[in-house]
Structures are given as structure tokens and as C-alpha cells.
A and B are shown apart, each in its own frame.
Chain A
């Protein structure tokens, strides 16, 4: 595809078509293809295949490129005996809940700010966006103390999934992205829906949301990926080992697990995100560039 696009880049087409240019292009192309595969794909292969090796093969001073003997049972052992399956499901619940709360809370907030336009709406949006300026770690301790004893309600969220879900929903970036997208939806569309007798919620559900699928996809992916990858926060707020996600459990168990089972666990922790990426590549890249160029 890229070969046909005529957009002019740093190197002129004429330079590219000269003999030296063609040779150089082919050379650089091969070098990057090999280099990138070695640097970014090979480690993943090494991890997945390492889990298939026997413990003695893994400990051998010279590693083997292809496992000498296949031991897929280290995957099942890690899943059941070490209990990684349990931690995997914990992560799944955390990610699913974070996804739902973020969609529910951030979409309705963005809808209010964009379409219902309350008095002081812009002040609130500004206060939300201001939080993006703050380094995350500056809020680590006070947010932790807030989760331990939520003001007014005086409940302790430690060891409950809400400790992960609710702070994640306070996501100014999501609200900003959603609001900007909602802003582009013409007011006439909403007005005509209103004239047809649709209420505020009805307009949101049957007019705004169906039109916003691309941005909803971006927000969803980042919500799931963010929680799935996270380590420090779940480690702090879920000290009960039975409730921890797989990332925290892996780090805790790393010293005690046989190497091949640890590797199997690492593969399991990564697969959902890798699959998600392979399916939604385009959305992820779109979200990445949209966010960064505007932020």
C-alpha cells in the first residue's frame, strides 16, 4: 500500500530509483525487518517457547533456539497448580469493571459537558483537564489514603475492586476525547430527535452513542489496556493475595515458581492484550495520535 502512495518524503523518488538508491533502500529495508523482528518479536517467541522447555533445559548454560522436548504442561500447571488462572480471572474482572465504569461515568459526563452545557460546565472541564498536568506519582499517597477512608462516606475500599474502578473513572483524557467527538455531532440531529419525543437519555443512547463508535472503541481499549497493564496501584490497594491481578501475583510469586511455569504465566498475562492489539491496531494507533497531537 505504502508503495503506491505518491506522498513526497525526505528522499526524492528519483534518488530512490537510481541504482544506488534502490540498493540502499533494499539494504535498509532488510536490515530494519531483521532488526525489528529480532528486537521486538523474538523476545516474545523466546518467552513463549521458553515456557515449553523442561526446567533442566532452561537452566542449561547455553540456551536452545527450539525446545528439545515439548512441555506444554507447564502452561496447565501454572494455570491450575500455581493458581494463575484465578489471578487471570481477577485481572479480567478488574478490567471489565473498569471498562464499564469508565464508559458509564465518562460518557455521561462528556455528554453533559458537550450537549447539555450546564452553567459552570467549562469551569468543571477545566478543573478536570488541569489534573492531566499533574505527575501521577504526586497523587499516589493522598489517593491511597483516600481509598483507605473515603471522605464523607467513611468506607474502606482496600481489597475491593472499587479501589481500582473508581479512580480509573476520574480520567480527564477520556472525557476530553469523548467531549471533542460529541461536539462534532450536529445539534440539529439532537433537536430533531427531541422533537420526535426522545428524552435526554434516549438521545444519548440512540443518537449520540451509535455515531460515536470510533471514539468509544478508543476509550474502551485504553481503559482495558490501562488496567490490565497496571502494577503499582493494584499492588497497593489489593494487598489480599486472593484478590490480586495476575501482574501483581507474578511479581510476588516469581521467586518461588519454576522458571518454565513463570514464563507460562507471563505469556498468559500478555496474550489478551496482544490479541486485543492485533484486532484493534487501527483504533489504537488512531487514539494514540489523536491524543498526543491535541494534548
Chain B
């Protein structure tokens, strides 16, 4: 059993390595090198050349071939990059989940072993629960806050440019800087937040050290850091709502709240749906927040799927286990996206 994969799998691996790339780029790039040089040199003269010599059809054909070679020469670098760092890793990622990978030996097929080991890890379920909890909290804060902000900003007559700029400032900070900054704010000793609470005579909190509060603290940072993007997208969408709709609703005697409910929200439906989907997909992959702020603690309360995946791969060097985890994450997110899109489409 152990003997057989050893000789065959490297051969198989290299064959697999080559196929996606060879289909796309190097073949035309290699073959076209001299041909395209010619075509570039002869470029302006070509329309007259072949048509006098042979049939017009073969001339046209030759020109098509030459044009295609030039086009693929321009495409080559892009296709190679995609093949190496996107398409090939997609295929390989799925395969890795069923393999045992170490740097010392060639990869070995282990079937569903990685998945079995995943389910045996007590942290596995914790990570999914924590991630689900984070996503849910992030939706409560991160979905409502930008929408409310955008609606309010859209009504203001002054200071819009300034407000639009400030809300986007945190997005421009490197995420590590944001996390280190907030870790300082959350500090139970000289931290800013507990000092502010103290001003209002509220008890200090163990922001990152308490099991109940740690995840909420992470969601707060995450919302602060990311809401700028969504707010600006909503603002742009709000600006596109035709004013006549509001006028008509007003003539019908609709109050501001009803106008918001019956005009603004339906008009924003598409963009709200898309951002909701993207936000769930994004927050399910939360990593930097727990990695920098809590390291997964206290008592594994902030171990997320991606943090666990990171540990599997880069702390324990168990790439097969990590890939099984990312396959699962991919399946879950894909299923969610599929169900969500179907549900929202059938309603509309």
C-alpha cells in the first residue's frame, strides 16, 4: 500500500502540474515567439501581401492565425499567473483534502481520513460555532450600521464630503494597525474604553479576557474597520433613487417611515442583497481579528474556522487536514450562496 503511491504519485503530480498551464499559455507563447515577431515586422504590409500571392481565403486565414498569436502573446503572462496561482491551486486544494502532505515525502492518498480527523477534533465544532456567532453578530452591527449611516448622510445638507471621508478612514488603515490600536483601547488597565466607562461611572470590562465579551469586542473592531466601504456603496445607491418616487409617495400621504420602508428599501433591495451575501462570505473567513487580538482565547472562545485552519497548516504543518477544512468551508459558503440566491430570486 505504502509502496505503490511512492513511485506513481510524483509522476502523476507533475503530469497534473503541467496540464492546466500547457493548455493555456506556454505552448502558444513558445510557438508564437518567432511568428509574432514576423507579424509585427510585416504588420502594415500584410494586407497586400498574401492576397496577391494566393487565394483570398488562405490569406485571411493566415492573418487570423497571426492575430491570434499576437493576442495570446499579450495574454500569456496573465494566463500563466492565473494558471499557477489560481486555477491550479483550486484543483490542488480539493485533492489535498484527500492527501497526507509532508515536505519530506511525496503526497499520499488517505481518502476521507482527513475529514474523519477533523470531526474528531473537539476544536472543530467550537471553531464553527464561534465563526457562526461572529458572523451573526457582525450582521447585526455591520449590516444595520452602514445602512443607517448612509440614509442619514444622504439627508444631510452639509458636511457630507467630510463625513464620507471620515467613515472611510479606518478602511485605509492596515488591518494589523487597527488591531494593535484596538488592543490598546481594550487594555483593562490604562485602556481608553475602561476610562470612558469610568467617566460615566460604569464598571470596567474585561474586553478581550472575558469569554462572553471577547467575541463581541472582535465584532466591534471589525465593524469599525470595515463599515466605510459598505456605507459608501449604499450612499452611491441612495443617490441613484429617482426623486419622483419619493414625491409620489409623499403625495399619497406616506410618512417618512413609510417612505423609507416602501421606497428606499425596495429600491436598494438588490444592493442590500448582494452586500449581505458578500458580508456573510467575508465574515465567515475572519482571521486577523482573533489572530492579533486574542489568539483564539480566552479558553478557545474566539477560535474561528480560519484560525484553526491556519494552525493546522502552518503550526502543525498538516496541509491535508487544513485543506479538508478549507474544502468544507468552501462547500458551506457555496451552499449558503446558492440557497440564498435561489430564495431571494424566487421572491422577486
Contact = CB atoms under 8 A, between A and B. Distances in A.
A128 to B, nearest CB: 6
A8 B287 contact: no
Given A12-B246, A152-B18, A170-B81, A146 B92 contact: yes
B246 A151 contact: no
Interface in A98-154: 104-106, 108-109, 111-113, 116-119, 121, 124, 127-128, 131, 133-148, 150-152
B169 A41 contact: yes
B306 A137 contact: yes
Given A236-B314, A269-B177, A292-B233, A9 B21 contact: no
A121 B79 CA distance: 11
A145 B318 CA distance: 12
Interface in B274-311: 274-275, 281, 284-285, 287-288, 291-292, 306, 309-310
B284 to A, nearest CB: 8
B45 to A, nearest CB: 10
A11 B79 contact: no
B200 to A, nearest CB: 14
A218 interface: no
B40 A199 contact: yes
A270 B153 CA distance: 26
Interface residues of A, number: 108
B169 A118 contact: no
Contact of A32 (B163, B239, B330): B163
A15 B256 CA distance: 10
A288 interface: yes
A152 B285 CA distance: 31
User: Which one of B93, B161, B288 has the highest number of Cβ atoms from chain A below 10 Å of its Cβ?
Assistant: B93
B167 A40 contact: yes
Interface stretch (A58-66, A73-81, A209-217): A58-66
B309 A105 contact: no
A172 to B, nearest CB: 8
B310 to A, nearest CB: 8
Given A41-B169, A124-B75, A289-B232, A36 B163 contact: yes
Contact of B233 (A41, A113, A289): A289
A137 B291 CA distance: 15
A33 B149 CA distance: 12
B75 A141 contact: no
Interface string B8-50: 0000001001100100100000000000000010011000000
Given A40-B167, A170-B81, A274-B169, A62 B195 contact: yes
B326 A140 contact: yes
Contacts of A61: 189-190
Contacts of A113: 75
A229 B314 contact: no
Contacts of B44: 197
Interface string A1-38: 11100011111100110000000010011001100110
Contacts of A152: 17-18, 21
Contact of A138 (B85, B164, B173, B330): B330
B243 A7 contact: yes
B193 to A, nearest CB: 11
B82 interface: yes
B292 A251 contact: yes
A54 interface: no
A259 B151 CA distance: 39
Interface string B160-201: 111111111110111111001100110001101001000000
A266 B181 contact: yes
Nearest to A33: B159
A96 interface: no
Interface stretch (B66-74, B118-126, B132-140): B66-74
B73 to A, nearest CB: 8
Interface residues of B, number: 109
Contact of B90 (A16, A134, A248): A134
A247 B79 contact: no
Given A7-B239, A7-B243, A40-B167, A32 B152 contact: yes
Given A8-B244, A285-B232, A247 B82 contact: no
What are the nearest 10 A-B pairs in CB distance?
A8-B243, A109-B78, A151-B17, A118-B71, A116-B71, A142-B89, A112-B74, A142-B93, A289-B236, A167-B85
Interface of A: 1-3, 7-12, 15-16, 25, 28-29, 32-33, 36-37, 39-41, 43-44, 46-47, 50, 58-63, 104-106, 108-109, 111-113, 116-119, 121, 124, 127-128, 131, 133-148, 150-152, 166-167, 169-170, 172, 175, 197, 199-201, 225, 228-229, 231-232, 236, 246-248, 250-251, 254, 259, 262-263, 266, 269-270, 273-274, 276-278, 281, 284-285, 288-289, 292-293
28 contacts: A2-B157, A3-B158, A10-B154, A10-B263, A10-B264, A25-B157, A32-B153, A40-B167, A44-B169, A105-B81, A108-B77, A108-B78, A109-B78, A112-B75, A118-B68, A128-B78, A138-B93, A139-B89, A142-B93, A147-B85, A151-B18, A151-B88, A169-B77, A200-B43, A200-B74, A250-B180, A259-B184, A277-B168
Interface of B: 14, 17-18, 21, 24, 40, 43-44, 67-68, 70-72, 74-75, 77-79, 81-82, 84-90, 92-93, 96, 101, 103, 151-170, 172-177, 180-181, 184-185, 189-190, 192, 195, 224, 229, 232-233, 236-239, 241, 243-244, 246-247, 250, 256, 259-260, 263-264, 271, 274-275, 281, 284-285, 287-288, 291-292, 306, 309-310, 313-314, 319, 322-323, 326-327, 329-330, 333, 337
Given A2-B158, A40-B166, A41-B169, 18 more contacts: A7-B243, A43-B185, A59-B189, A109-B74, A135-B281, A137-B309, A141-B319, A142-B93, A145-B96, A151-B88, A169-B81, A199-B43, A251-B176, A269-B174, A270-B172, A274-B169, A276-B172, A285-B236
